[in-house]
Chains A and B, each alone.
Chain A
């Protein structure tokens, strides 16, 4: 009888379904995150086949994809995948091109002041900036390219460093959006200001990236990206899109609904 009573009181209090769903979603996310490396090892494109062994549409598209790319590097699907993948792939490529790396480093050095002048809190921006620069310096100082890449891979799999890189890129992206808010405001849905959008969708961790994030991130880092879309659509080939349009992309990402991985030609 006591139990019945309890049940009925539970029913009468409105259970917040949204929060229940969110809690469950978080649990799933946690399980996923524990099983997949933040940034994985290089794998052949054909490794995608086993995910879609009974799926003709995808198998056809993987075939098309493998005609364009040799390798894939998976990232953890935790909502930060675009930022993590983009930042990793960008730096990995720069390690091969020391001159470009220097330019990038210089630009990064100045980025803090840009953010502070936009009104970001100096105290915390500095915290992320310092770690960001520490990573750039550490990998930049290593003469042997392969060793530098190993260190990059190691740091991007250290949760602390890896997340700090993501946060700083999120801040840079937010800064870019706010710097050119007249332009970006047209792309924001709902009655939100660019600043609101940044506070709600860009700066918090684990928030997934949309086109607008990608466009702004590319502009902020001055690094073009090609996103290859692979979904259930009817056409037999994968679709490619360059950000910004018409650029020569230096980073290639594979997009499957909800997730980004890194591609290597």
Chain B
């Protein structure tokens, strides 16, 4: 079924997304985004790593999840290509730097979000949730690797962007100053589930929202995620290196059982000695 028949075209939110889909239909050199064939509220995008930075030459792919109340609520961006700046498979929100996520403005758009993402990539991670602080060398290596990265739905992402040599970024003055103000930050899983409104199920949106456990496990090392539709947990299994509270728990349990075992052994030995 085509998107036109599936959604209530009278709904301003749907109209808005249709409009944005038309506006972004042509790939530019810097970015490309399109709604999934069967879901207007989930988009995939590709951005080119900004030139003269450690992301130069890289192609970064991800998902955009639009809440049912878009554009009143901000979209969530999820990067899928390992990049060394943002954790992959983690929801990132837009807001004005230093302000709370409700500073999202309905007059911003998916284009604004992508421009802000490109502009925000080279900024220091500074310990923000969802940010990674890789060295320039590591980021360069990931940028190089990203050229071969493929999305199950969109194919080889490096081919998604237009290859015109001339820049097509025509920023208005307003946009240019705007995107400098926008910050991208991941949701803090423990405190603000409501912060980025999740899309409702009423439009059959298969958002596969990454559950908390997975995002917890993911904290630590970034990894290549080749297959986006696989359950996320599988991908992270082998990559867990850092000690999060869960692994500490496990270690303690093991140590405890070991101690109990030794005590039982000693008591038993004493018992047998007495006999």
Tell me which residues across on chain A come within 8 A of B191, comparing CB atoms: 15-16, 19-20, 23
B103 at the interface (CB under 8 A from A): yes
Given B23, B99, B175, B188, which contacts A200 in the complex, CB threshold below 8 Å?
A: B99
Interface residues of B in 218-275 (CB under 8 A from A): 245, 248-249, 252-253, 256
Q: Give the shortest distance, in Å, between A112 (CB) and chain B (any CB).
A: 12
A127 at the interface (CB under 8 A from B): yes
Given A5, A18, A27, A30, which contacts B245 in the complex, CB threshold below 8 Å?
A: A5
B105 at the interface (CB under 8 A from A): yes
Q: Give the shortest distance, in Å, between B4 (CB) and chain A (any CB).
A: 18
Tell me which residues across on chain A come within 8 A of B173, comparing CB atoms: 119
A35 at the interface (CB under 8 A from B): no
A205 at the interface (CB under 8 A from B): yes
Interface residues of B in 1-41 (CB under 8 A from A): 11-13, 15-16, 19, 23
A102 to B195, CA, bound (A): 41
A205 to B191, CA, bound (A): 21
> Which one of A45-53, A81-89, A103-111, A158-166 contacts B?
A158-166
A2 at the interface (CB under 8 A from B): yes
B166 at the interface (CB under 8 A from A): no
Tell me which residues across on chain B come within 8 A of A9, comparing CB atoms: 245, 248
Interface residues of B in 115-173 (CB under 8 A from A): 172-173
Interface residues of A in 125-180 (CB under 8 A from B): 125, 127-128, 131, 159-161, 163-164, 167, 171
A235 at the interface (CB under 8 A from B): no
Query: Cβ of B192 and Cβ of A120 under 8 Å apart?
Result: no
A264 at the interface (CB under 8 A from B): no
**A22 touching B12 in the complex, CB below 8 Å, given contacts A9-B245, A124-B107, A124-B108:** no
B200 at the interface (CB under 8 A from A): no
Tell me which residues across on chain A come within 8 A of B252, comparing CB atoms: 1-2, 5
Given B11, B23, B99, B109, which contacts A160 in the complex, CB threshold below 8 Å?
A: B11
Q: Interface size (A, Cβ < 8 Å)?
A: 39
Tell me which residues across on chain A come within 8 A of B194, comparing CB atoms: 23, 26-27, 30
A203 at the interface (CB under 8 A from B): yes
Give the nearest-CB partner of B103 in chain A: A204
A123 at the interface (CB under 8 A from B): yes
Query: Cβ of A206 and Cβ of B102 under 8 Å apart?
Result: yes
A234 at the interface (CB under 8 A from B): no
Tell me which residues across on chain B come within 8 A of A199, comparing CB atoms: 96, 103, 105, 178, 181
Q: Give the shortest distance, in Å, between A14 (CB) and chain B (any CB).
A: 11
Query: Cβ of A200 and Cβ of B103 under 8 Å apart?
Result: yes
Given A6, A19, A205, which contacts B72 in the complex, CB threshold below 8 Å?
A: A205
B104 at the interface (CB under 8 A from A): yes
A9 to B256, CA, bound (A): 19
Give the nearest-CB partner of A165 in chain B: B12
A121 to B19, CA, bound (A): 14
Tell me which residues across on chain B come within 8 A of A125, comparing CB atoms: 107
Give the nearest-CB partner of B14 in chain A: A160
Q: Give the shortest distance, in Å, between A187 (CB) and chain B (any CB).
A: 20
Tell me which residues across on chain A come within 8 A of B107, comparing CB atoms: 120-121, 124-125, 128, 167, 171, 203
Give the nearest-CB partner of A163 in chain B: B72
A131 to B13, CA, bound (A): 11
Given A6, A20, A120, which contacts B249 in the complex, CB threshold below 8 Å?
A: A6
Query: Cβ of A2 and Cβ of B249 under 8 Å apart?
Result: yes
Give the nearest-CB partner of A126 in chain B: B19
A199 to B99, CA, bound (A): 11
Query: Cβ of A128 and Cβ of B248 under 8 Å apart?
Result: no
**A5 touching B174 in the complex, CB below 8 Å, given contacts A121-B107, A123-B23:** no
Given B16, B103, B109, B195, which contacts A23 in the complex, CB threshold below 8 Å?
A: B195
Q: Give the shortest distance, in Å, between A122 (CB) and chain B (any CB).
A: 8
Q: Give the shortest distance, in Å, between B8 (CB) and chain A (any CB).
A: 9
Q: Give the shortest distance, in Å, between A135 (CB) and chain B (any CB).
A: 10
Tell me which residues across on chain B come within 8 A of A20, comparing CB atoms: 191
**A161 touching B109 in the complex, CB below 8 Å, given contacts A2-B253, A30-B194, A123-B23:** no
B203 at the interface (CB under 8 A from A): no
B193 at the interface (CB under 8 A from A): yes
B51 at the interface (CB under 8 A from A): no
Q: Give the shortest distance, in Å, between A4 (CB) and chain B (any CB).
A: 9
Tell me which residues across on chain B come within 8 A of A30, comparing CB atoms: 194
Tell me which residues across on chain A come within 8 A of B195, comparing CB atoms: 19, 22-23, 26
Apart from A124-B108, A163-B12, A199-B96: 17 A-B pairs, beta carbons within 8 A: A1-B253, A15-B191, A16-B188, A22-B100, A22-B195, A30-B194, A119-B173, A120-B174, A121-B175, A124-B71, A125-B107, A159-B69, A160-B11, A161-B12, A199-B105, A204-B102, A206-B102
Ordered by A's residue number, 5 sampled pairs between the chains whose C-beta atoms are within 8 Å are A1-B252, A120-B107, A123-B19, A199-B96, A204-B103
In the A-B complex, the 4 residue pairs with the smallest Cβ-Cβ separation, listed nearest first, are A119-B174, A160-B12, A124-B107, A2-B249
